Chain A
Amino acid sequence: MKSNLIKCASALAVLSCLAPACSNSESSSTTTAAAVTTTGVPTSDTGGSDPSTTDAPSDRDVFKPITGVPGVSDKEIGYAVIGTRSNNPLGTCILDCYLDGIKAYFAFRNSEGGIYGRQLVVNQEIDDELANNQARALDIVSNNKSFGSFNATLLSSGWGDLESAGIPTYTWGIQPADSADRLHIFPSIATMCSGGCTSHLMPYAAKSAGAKHVAALGYGVTENSKTCVAGYKNSVTKYPEGGVDVAYFNDNLAFGLPNGIGPEVTAMKAANVDFIATCMDLNAMKTLAQELHRQGMDNVTLYHPNTYNQQFVTDADPLFEGDFVSVGFLPFEADTAGTTLGDFLTWMEKAGKTPSELAMVGWINASVAFGGLLAAGPEFDRQKVTDATNALTADTAGGLLKPINWSTDHAPYTDSTRPADKQGECVTLVRVTKGKFATVAPPATPWMCWPSIEWSDPEFKGFK
């Protein structure tokens, strides 16, 4: 009888659910999505300084007592760092390298006296063990000990909660979907184009390698990889000026290439491919290069998205000789003048750590965090820092990134909905030369920029 009662109750619940009273909670992402397009630049009562002159030292040493702001004491501003250490299927160094970069940046700024009379510190280091990002993010939300958070994680399930809690969060930007339309989240890669976006870069690289026939390869496991390969294809089609065609296309390889890549390489050989752009991890790139070597195709140039790792390239030498590697930030090989790259190398060395991609991501994230603090002024809180960062329209994280316009760069778009101010692009590219990375553009102006969507030769630029 008891069970019948409960059954009736549940039936009622289902019925009432069909009634219009039932809907989805308004606190979902749709409202924030609207906000991003309308808010744009928030009303700036927060310092009001010109974003391009973030290094104004006048305010930086001013100490104002602040109470009630989590993670901020009279001595310190504390940050939490979440990253993947355990169970990382790629086996790469993520959390620890990321922490190296953040700590190096904090040491660098603290040596200059910190900010607003306070030292920057990491007060929580958290391993999310791959799958527990959300639980760990909620730990940060509920213990509320940190002013902001840093995230370098393969699965970013907790970013929504950090966003709702209003915690300024700086992330390794490999998960654009999870930072899209989230105004408190500042990824290290602020390009929100998705779904087969075109770029000048790959055709340009192929052209400068003297290639004629391009192959595009990617895994069939994720939508991410598939659309990345589609992007290469679209780019080649869109820019016939590059002088290459797509001679081979394969976007359904098994993840990690457990079956090798022999038949595919044979097919590429038959198609006279001399340039291969991929959307694969570095281990698979090596498998590919080994198979090319076996089938006598050593002269093919590879275009790598994820291989900016000198140790790896050195170990595999000479498999990758002459290959292109896209970097996403100011390469270590560039001239350091006018940027914090020199500081990065110095402070990494002082800490006895090797510069790595993830360390650089940590450093960049920390730079953005610092820039936001600076812009928010000495009486800062979380919301002020978020707003002030979002008011920055040309944030280069100390000359390490192409200028980010945080007022618009949270919004995702596709190639067909590309906004007017996203028509051009700036990228960095290195090439393996005698076993070492070297910038393709001159080291003093390592960025290659295309001002518009049209094909042209890139302008070489440096950012401060």
Chain B
Amino acid sequence: MTALLEARGIRKSFAGVMALHFVDIDVDAGETVGLIGPNGAGKTTFFNCVLGILRSDSGVVRFDGRDISGLRVHERARCGIGRTFQRIELFAESTVREHLLIAERTRQGTGSLWKDLLGMGRPHRDEIARCDEVLELLGLGAVAEAPIEHLSLGQGRLVEVGRALMTDPKLLLLDEPSSGLDRKETADLAATLRKVQAEKGFAILLVEHDVEFVAGFTERSYVLDFGTMIAQGRTREVLRDPIVREAYLGVPATEGT
């Protein structure tokens, strides 16, 4: 059986500097995989290559058995790749629910100019119900009507998750979800994510700094350093790998457990 996401031989260089050097990553359906590495290791570059924000110099990205290397960002998203952002990207002047509504409408692909003009572009009752279901699941039910300016950072990140969920993703890419959150918020986020994943059954590829978070959250991990894959395998084992520890100069050895 092929994996859900197959990235093969991804190579990318910027002005002669190799950012990714023939990186292979697989993510199976429903599993939770971590992608770790020190700053500048090429995690974000890899992420962007998978999402189509960057075009890799060579290599193939297959998703769900289909070669998506030539697709544009929004086309890849429609294939079932959802994501969140390290620095939160929300839509200004929209409420929490509106974030989910537009994602839902885009997924259905039923919106058109003519429907708008006939007054059929407004949110339907069943759409709202579906959004509210996800909001409840994420514990955002109370702030559904709130403008996003009033949210906490943790809530903001959950809104991103909810927005991604509305597209029915098969794979969710989380870009440093713990950044800016304190320990408790991170733990809450992890718990919520796990709960939602259990219900919806999507796979997660997690790019993360916070080794502790990765250790607690993922089953399998890849480690990048200077654009090269230096280790892969079960997360706990990987984190004990001396090469990995060396790469993580800033991380005290005791934290790797």
Please list the residues of chain A having a beta carbon within 8 angstroms of any beta carbon in chain B.
1, 3-4, 7
Contact = CB atoms under 8 A, between A and B. Distances in A.
Contacts of A3: 119
Contacts of A4: 118-119
Nearest to A2: B119
B92 interface: no
B17 interface: no
A294 B217 CA distance: 83
Nearest to B120: A4
Contacts of B119: 1, 3-4, 7
A435 B194 CA distance: 95
A1 B119 CA distance: 8
B117 interface: yes
A7 B118 CA distance: 7
Nearest to A3: B119
Nearest to B122: A3
B12 to A, nearest CB: 47
A10 to B, nearest CB: 10
7 contacts: A1-B119, A3-B119, A4-B118, A4-B119, A7-B117, A7-B118, A7-B119
A14 to B, nearest CB: 13
Contacts of B118: 4, 7
Interface string B98-118: 000000000000000000011
* Interface SS of chain A: helix
A4 B122 CA distance: 13
Interface in B52-74: none
A3 B118 CA distance: 8
Interface string B170-188: 0000000000000000000
Contacts, number: 7
A4 B119 CA distance: 7
B46 to A, nearest CB: 48
A283 B119 CA distance: 57
Nearest to B119: A3
Contacts of A1: 119
Q: Which 4 A-B pairs have the closest CB atoms?
A: A3-B119, A4-B119, A7-B118, A4-B118
Contacts of A7: 117-119
Interface in B106-146: 117-119
B121 to A, nearest CB: 11
A1 B117 CA distance: 12
A260 B17 CA distance: 50
A291 B185 CA distance: 77
A181 to B, nearest CB: 42
Contacts of B117: 7
A153 to B, nearest CB: 42
Nearest to A1: B119
A3 B115 CA distance: 12
A3 B119 CA distance: 7
A66 to B, nearest CB: 59
Interface in B178-233: none
Nearest to A6: B119
A164 B188 CA distance: 78
A4 B117 CA distance: 9
B119 to A, nearest CB: 5
A7 B115 CA distance: 12
A163 B117 CA distance: 42
A250 B119 CA distance: 56
B214 to A, nearest CB: 52
A397 to B, nearest CB: 59
A4 B118 CA distance: 6
Interface in B76-116: none
A7 B121 CA distance: 14
A12 to B, nearest CB: 15
A4 to B, nearest CB: 6
A26 B197 CA distance: 72
A184 B119 CA distance: 51
A386 to B, nearest CB: 50
A1 B120 CA distance: 10
A7 B114 CA distance: 12
Nearest to A7: B118
B186 to A, nearest CB: 47
Nearest to B118: A7
A7 B117 CA distance: 9
A453 B119 CA distance: 67
A1 B118 CA distance: 10
Nearest to A4: B119
A48 to B, nearest CB: 65
A457 B119 CA distance: 76
B83 to A, nearest CB: 36
A170 B208 CA distance: 82
Interface string B37-52: 0000000000000000
A247 B248 CA distance: 82
B124 to A, nearest CB: 15
B196 to A, nearest CB: 38
B2 to A, nearest CB: 50
A372 B117 CA distance: 58
A253 B130 CA distance: 64
B120 to A, nearest CB: 9
Nearest to B117: A7
